């Protein structure tokens, strides 16, 4: 048996995907550290908080960078893995001695035009990718985007997969009782963040279009990482449309508890304005729940229209039509859900994905070379200059 690795994960400790990726490797017997400026409380994962001890305002950015580097190097890790190629700790990571450096892109970090990134953020994310030893992406589409930014860095699609034992078809009635939702009636779940990017207003409008006269239908909206102003706007829309009694705003849950929400739903909907290949899609598919999605070409790597999901324009009219069709056709819902789970079992099994990542780590470790100090200092100087100039 191969010896356990020491893994240093760099990411936002509030982000479910970052936390989950750290946790699963700890469960596999590796020693895992998570460098995050935000608190981390994950069983088996050791939090390394960058501590900026520089008080002088003009040197705060330098102190913050030194704190990130010190936190990474204190892990004495075999490999550093940055999840999400955006944000100060991620941008600073290549200045640390520890190698190899793996960067996983997720969508919002590299889709510059879709997410309206500033010129500074574009420069820093591009520099990070070019300094990496390897890049992983959840879709071929994102891998191609990364290739345009860092053409000389090897890359691979890694879906990360789903625990298909945990994410599996569950009891709908029991789940709805736990959530205080009526056991009968059609139920639509929106599991994405409550922010403008995820176009929740179109989902609310689509629900009203399809079920405005159906008192038994329910809309479940997960309030994950809510944008306060946008959340207020959505709540006002719900009230204006007379849906207050039929809309349930649910708290965000840790990844391992999300099957409860999927079990309660008849259909899951996602209507983002920009996207990579979201984990919620994989999770819902593994739970045997049909998905309604906008026709973004990048989804086609995993999902086929009419096979394991329905594509619909991300407008109230488009989404409402898809909801109405699924509500009227239980056989279609069943077929889409069964095929969706079969697809996940075939291409996104978590065990296989994690074993592949472990092999990649070991291959990279065997080839790792620490960049010269001069190169790391030049890189750090570029990060600091970008922050000073804005």
Cα end-to-end span (Å), the chain: 49
Structural domain contains residue 1: no
- Strands in 310-311's sheet, in edge-to-edge order, are 247-251, 218-223, 187-190, 267-269, 291-293, 310-311
**Is residue 328 within 8 Å of residue 359, measured between CB atoms?**
no
Do 294 and 251 lie in a common domain?
yes
Sign of CA dihedral 369, 376, 133, 100: positive
Same domain, 28 and 143: yes
Residues in a beta bridge with 267: 188
- Whole-number Å distance between alpha carbons of 37 and 357: 25
Number of domains in the chain: 2
* 95 and 240 share one domain: no
Check whether residue 129 and residue 225 sit in a common domain: no
CATH of the domain at 297: 3.40.50.2000
Q: Can you tell me the distance from the alpha carbon of 362 to that of 78, in angstroms, rounded to the nearest whole number?
A: 9
What length does the chain have? 390
Give the DSSP per-residue string, 143-163: HHHHHHH-TTS-EEE----B-
Asked whether residue 265 falls in the same domain as residue 379, the answer is no
Beta bridge partners of 224: 193
Shared-domain flag, residues 373 and 232: no
pLDDT for residue 67: 96
**Measured at the alpha carbon of residue 85, what is the angle toward residues 140 and 88, in degrees to the nearest 5?**
175
Decide the pairing of beta strands 45-48 and 31-35. Answer: parallel
Q: Are residues 327 and 360 in the same domain?
A: no
Whole-structure pTM over 0.85, yes or no?
yes
Half-sphere exposure of 78 (CA within 13 A, CB side): 17
With H, G, I as helix, E, B as strand and everything else as coil, classify residue 50: coil
- Do 9 and 34 touch, CB atoms closer than 8 A? yes
Structural domain of 22: 6-161+349-389
Asked if 236 and 340 sit in the same domain, the reply is yes
* 167 within domain boundaries: no
Domain shared by 329 and 381, yes or no:
no
pLDDT string in tens for the chain (390-residue length): 579 999 999 999 988 889 999 999 999 999 999 999 999 989 999 999 999 887 776 788 999 999 999 999 999 999 999 999 999 999 999 999 999 999 999 988 999 987 778 999 999 999 999 999 999 999 999 999 999 999 999 999 999 999 999 999 999 999 999 999 999 999 999 999 999 999 999 999 999 999 999 999 999 999 988 999 999 999 999 999 999 999 999 998 888 899 999 999 999 999 998 888 899 999 999 999 999 999 998 899 999 999 999 999 999 999 999 999 999 999 999 999 999 999 999 999 899 999 999 999 999 999 999 999 999 999 999 999 998 776
Ordered DSSP codes for 315-339: SHHHHHHHHHHHHH-HHHHHHHHHH
Q: What is the DSSP letter of 60?
A: H
Asked whether residue 166 is domain-assigned, the answer is no
Is 176 found in the same domain as 84? Answer: no
> Do 322 and 190 lie in a common domain?
yes
- Please check whether residues 190 and 325 belong to one and the same domain: yes
Tell me, what's the pLDDT at 334? 97
The answer to whether residue 338 is domain-embedded is yes
Q: Is residue 112 part of a domain?
A: yes
């Amino acid at each position: 048996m191969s010896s356990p690795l020491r893994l240093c994960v760099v990411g936002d400790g509030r982000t479910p995907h970052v936390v989950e990726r750290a946790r699963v490797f700890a469960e596999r017997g590796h020693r895992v550290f998570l460098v995050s400026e935000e608190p981390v409380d994950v069983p088996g994962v050791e939090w390394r908080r960058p501590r900026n001890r520089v008080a002088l305002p003009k040197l705060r950015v330098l102190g913050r960078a030194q704190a990130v580097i010190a936190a990474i190097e204190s892990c004495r890790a075999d490999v550093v893995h940055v999840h999400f190629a955006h944000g100060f700790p991620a941008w600073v990571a290549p200045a640390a001695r520890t190698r190899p450096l793996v960067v996983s892109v997720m969508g919002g970090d590299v889709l510059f035009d879709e997410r309206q990134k500033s010129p500074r953020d574009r420069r820093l994310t591009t520099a990070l990718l070019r300094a990496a030893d390897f890049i992983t992406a959840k879709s071929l589409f994102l891998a191609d985007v990364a290739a345009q930014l860092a053409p000389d860095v090897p890359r691979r699609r890694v879906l990360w997969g789903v625990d298909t034992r945990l994410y599996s078809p569950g009891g709908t009635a029991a789940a709805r009782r736990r959530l205080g939702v009526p056991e009968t009636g059609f139920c639509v779940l929106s599991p994405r963040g409550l922010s403008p990017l995820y176009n929740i207003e179109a989902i609310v409008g689509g629900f009203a279009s399809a079920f405005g006269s159906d008192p038994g239908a329910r809309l479940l909206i997960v309030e994950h990482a809510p944008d306060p102003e946008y959340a207020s706007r959505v709540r006002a829309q719900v009230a204006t449309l007379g849906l207050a009694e039929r809309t349930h705003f649910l708290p965000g849950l840790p990844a391992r508890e999300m099957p409860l929400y999927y079990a309660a739903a008849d259909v899951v909907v996602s209507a983002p304005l920009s996207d990579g290949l979201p984990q919620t899609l994989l999770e819902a598919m593994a739970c045997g729940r049909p998905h309604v999605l906008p026709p973004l070409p990048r989804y086609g790597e995993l999902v086929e229209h009419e096979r394991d999901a329905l594509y619909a324009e991300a407008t109230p009219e488009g989404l409402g039509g898809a909801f109405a069709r699924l509500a009227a056709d239980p056989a279609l819902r069943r077929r889409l859900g069964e095929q969706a789970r079969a697809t996940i079992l075939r291409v996104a099994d978590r065990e296989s994905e994690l074993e592949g990542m472990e092999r990649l780590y070991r291959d990279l470790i065997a080839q790792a070379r620490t960049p010269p100090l001069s190169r790391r200092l030049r890189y750090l100087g570029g990060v600091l200059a970008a922050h000073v100039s804005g």
